[in-house]
Chains A and B, each alone.
Chain A
Amino acid sequence: NAGVTQTPKFQVLKTGQSMTLQCAQDMNHEYMSWYRQDPGMGLRLIHYSVGAGITDQGEVPNGYNVSRSTTEDFPLRLLSAAPSQTSVYFCASTDRDREDGYTFGSGTRLTVV
């Protein structure tokens, strides 16, 4: 089924470790973005991309890096994990006309100990 695929679904990291959260979409969407969701809160934008080779910062970008080498993939890198980065991470994509909103992946639940 077409959609947004996120891997892994769960991850536990030690403080200081690095890792990459993967996001892939097969809908040929130009726009992709990463959000984090903390308990009892809405989603907050980390980084977004309006096309291959173009990325920009969102509301909470510190501690995260992104790149967009292809239309399909938009990985999120944690450079040196901190307990404050414990959260659920969602990737989303949409087309140029934002038809039917943004499609979200099922999320990656990250715990940093």
Chain B
Amino acid sequence: GESVGLHLPTLSVQEGDNSIINCAYSNSASDYFIWYKQESGKGPQFIIDIRSNMDKRQGQRVTVLLNKTVKHLSLQIAATQPGDSAVYFCAENSQGYKLSFGAGTTVTVRA
């Protein structure tokens, strides 16, 4: 079946640098994409979302880019902070209200 996947399982970033987390999806029918942050022992926390009729969306220190041509999604975190250390998941929404998750990228921020 089709699935969502992340390019890299881990990412190490120097504090203050920008982080880029990538995600590839394969279901061209997906119309809604979400990035989640998950800290140890907690549930996924919503970061930002984007609908398929958009290419870019910005939030506070985060930007999501959607390239439908190559089925690619990315999350950019500006000025990465120690509190940004977590596992990041992309999720795609297709077939109504079903969410499909990738395996996640573990981000570690170096002081």
Contact = CB atoms under 8 A, between A and B. Distances in A.
Contacts, number: 62
Q: For this complex, into which size category does the number of interface residues on chain B fall? A: 20 to 34
Given A42-B89, A98-B32, A98-B93, A90 B43 contact: yes
Given A42-B104, A90-B43, A102 B96 contact: no
A42 B103 CA distance: 4
A25 interface: no
Binding site of B, secondary structure by majority: helix, strand, loop or mixed? strand
A94 B46 CA distance: 12
A43 B97 contact: no
Contacts of A107: 41-43
Contacts of A45: 98-100
A50 B34 contact: no
A104 B43 contact: yes
Contacts of B42: 106-107
B101 A43 contact: yes
B49 A101 contact: yes
Nearest to B101: A42
Contact of B34 (A33, A44, A102): A102
A43 B102 CA distance: 8
A60 to B, nearest CB: 12
B45 interface: yes
A43 B44 contact: yes
Contact of B99 (A4, A102, A106): A102
Contacts of B102: 42
Interface of B: 4, 32, 34, 36, 41-46, 49, 89, 91, 93, 96-104
Nearest first, the 5 A-B pairs at minimum CB distance are A42-B101, A104-B43, A101-B46, A101-B34, A43-B101
Given A43-B91, A107-B42, 4 more contacts: A4-B43, A35-B99, A43-B89, A98-B49
